Amino acid sequence: MLLQQPGLIGGLRLKNRVVMAPMGTNYSTTDGLSTERDKQYYEERARGGVGMIMTEAMVVTEQARPHNNSLCCYHDRFIPGLASIVEAIKRHDCAVFGQLNHRGALLRRSVLNMEPVGPSPWANPNTGDTVRPLSIAEIAEIQTLFVAAARRLWLAGYDGVEIHAANGYLFQQFFSPRINRRDDAYGGSIENRMRFLLETIGRMRDALPDLRLGIRLSASEFADGGYGEDEIIALARAVEHAGADAIDLSGGSNESPQLSKFCIQPPSFPRGCLADTARPIKQAVGIPVFVAGRMVQPEDAEQVLASGAADFVSIGRALYADPHWTAKAFGRIDAPIRACIACNVCFERLTLEKDVACVQNPMMGTEFERLEYAEPQLFAPPAGPRARVLVLGAGVAGIEAARVLKGRGHVVEVWESGDRPGGQMPLATASPDKQEVEPVWSYRWGTVQRMGIPVRLGVAADEGAIRDFAPDYIVVATGSRPAAPPLDVGALASTVRVRHAWEVLADLDALPKGTRVTIVGGGMVGAETADALRVRGARVTVLEIQAGIANGMARNNKFELVERLAADGVTLLTRCRILKAEGETLEIQVQDEAPRRIAAGDMLVFATGPRPNLAVLPAVEATGIPHARIGDCNVPGDFLAALRDAWMVALSVDERIHRRQADESSRKELQA
């Protein structure tokens, strides 16, 4: 297996070819200091077997903070905390590089009043903030700051440093002819546009000759007017000649969702999507090359290496989802990989200034992320008595709760009222590209089957049946059901069929081509239903009361979906209220326009949200047995909320047993 082979970077031996990509966390303090949470997060991935960790981008000046809680390296006070992270990583035979960055024009005034600066006057496309061009003196000062920050990482024990010159940040802004309009020594010709980065490399080499140095580049901007293949190859060769020990290839630019999707790819992108773009660059240089880009499973990464596109793979979101990805890939842990589903909730949370989180790994960044909690079936259960637990509902939340409970040694049985397990998974995977979501289910269902947990289908959980099972605890995971239409549809003509989106997604093949469909509700479910109908030849109109379509979806995924719908003729009406449904028409009002009538179509589909399914709750409450509601039957939400509920409730049963033991001991002492 190529992934398992050791490799060299500037004389540093890496035990395998898996490099953890630099990804933000927002786990630091508001003044940029590292925390115990940072340390635990990085150490778990080192423990998981990667050959090298590239810690998240750290800023070189307090005038360039990208997030409120990002790691920083602009002062000596940061060295002890960073040294603590390095020490934790190196306990596990894992090398560590630190990435240094300046976002330049992509800085946001909304984050600590950071001023966007760049090569030329511009506007930050994400915010509209005006970009101030840097003077030559400021360019020299920034180069000095990079050298000083690199020295701090060296003192903290890092094996090397990576300069972030990709993804639309400051160095790429200078290199891109789209953005750099200078007429001095730092603009115009390719030699001038490379100068800022090459001079920085030279200064770093002069000051720290023994420092191992990597450079991250975007293999392509994927933008009209951006640099071409010849230019990025010329830059890669120049970087090598200037003294870089490795090149780390990403793609695109985080200046907009349209370009950011080439860096943080949505599920429609193929696995190993940057390999073909990276290969000519790899072939043009003699130093090691890393490449990123949707390597979800080990075979994806293996194929990229075998294709000659890179010497090392840069694994990012897949290590959010499963910190033990590498050890599982190499057969050292006998459990399936929790595959990244490219939902991009992680990236969205960072953009919204929240701490990073992962749908597949809801315990990321906590002490419960350790293997003994993530895969408890691999370990002996805790000592002491265990509970008898009944799980009602065999959807994702119920099965996850059962998996964790059984792994912790509890006696578990799952009852499902329907004739199949999986809850809403068939609906979640019905739309184009949504098969990538399937591992949310298959990882958990496969594990539950291997663990031998009884799952009974078609069971009516009445009070008597529950009492007969005699559980110590009940987990209610009965999901949600469609809500009634939010408007009166009684006056509609019989020719207009009224359906809920779930009904439509459950039987897409029953819809004849050319069917006219109006979807009420353009949130995530409504937009994905429109996408599924679009590819089947339906003529679709979406009515949404809010200002945007697919709100709640990560923006890279959302923008691509909305572009796809609009390009294929789907009518999207936002800020749209339905005033009346009558005959074969709907009376609507869009923003402040005069009300008008539109055809309801052959089918009126409601995607206006579900409500908790609490049908079983009276029977549960009548037993008096302690219970908890998880997932959609608690509050309808997303996979992240449902799985976090399941995991936390399952782990809380341990504490419940401990409390019961303590109470019994106290009673016995009082009786004595």
Q: What is the pLDDT of residues 208-230, one digit of tens each?
A: 999 999 999 999 999 999 999 99
Tell me what pLDDT residue 373 has: 95
Determine whether 169 is an active site residue.
yes
| pTM (predicted TM-score) | 0.93
Count Cα neighbours of 475 within 13 Å in the Cβ-side half-sphere.
39
Q: At 437, is the secondary structure helix, strand, or coil?
A: helix
Q: How confident is the model at residue 126, as a pLDDT?
A: 87
Alpha helices (H) along 185-334: 190-207, 229-242, 257-260, 275-284, 298-306, 317-321, 325-329
Q: CA 63, CA 59: separation in Å to the nearest integer?
A: 9
H/E element holding 146?
helix 136-155
pLDDT computed for residue 212 by the predictor: 97
* 462 Cβ neighbours under 8 A, 6+ residues apart: 619
The ranges of the chain with pLDDT < 70 are: 661-672
217 within 8 A of 247, measured Cβ to Cβ: yes
Catalytic residue among 27, 74, 169, 373: 169
Q: Nearest 5 degrees, angle CA 560-CA 563-CA 567?
A: 140
Left (φ > 0), alpha (ψ -120 to 50) or beta: where does 60 sit?
Answer: alpha
What does the block give as tokens for 204? Answer: 């770093």
pLDDT (0 to 100) of residue 265 = 95
Structure tokens at 57: 């981008």
**How is the chain split among helix, strand and coil, in percent rounded to 5?**
40, 20, 45
| Cβ neighbours around 133 below 10 Å, total | 17
What secondary structure letter does DSSP report for 2?
Answer: G
Q: How far apart are CA 24 and CA 26, in angstroms?
A: 6
- HEC string of 69-137? CCCECCCHHHHHHHHHHHHHHHCCCCEEEEEEECCHHHCCCCCCCCCCEECCCEECCCCCCEEEECCHH
CA–CA separation, 251 and 278 (whole Å): 9
Q: Given this model, what pLDDT does residue 266 score?
A: 94
**CB atoms < 10 A from the CB of 660, how many?**
14
Which among 318, 362, 263 is positioned nearest to 57, based on CA atoms?
A: 263
- Enter the tokens of residue 28: 């630091």
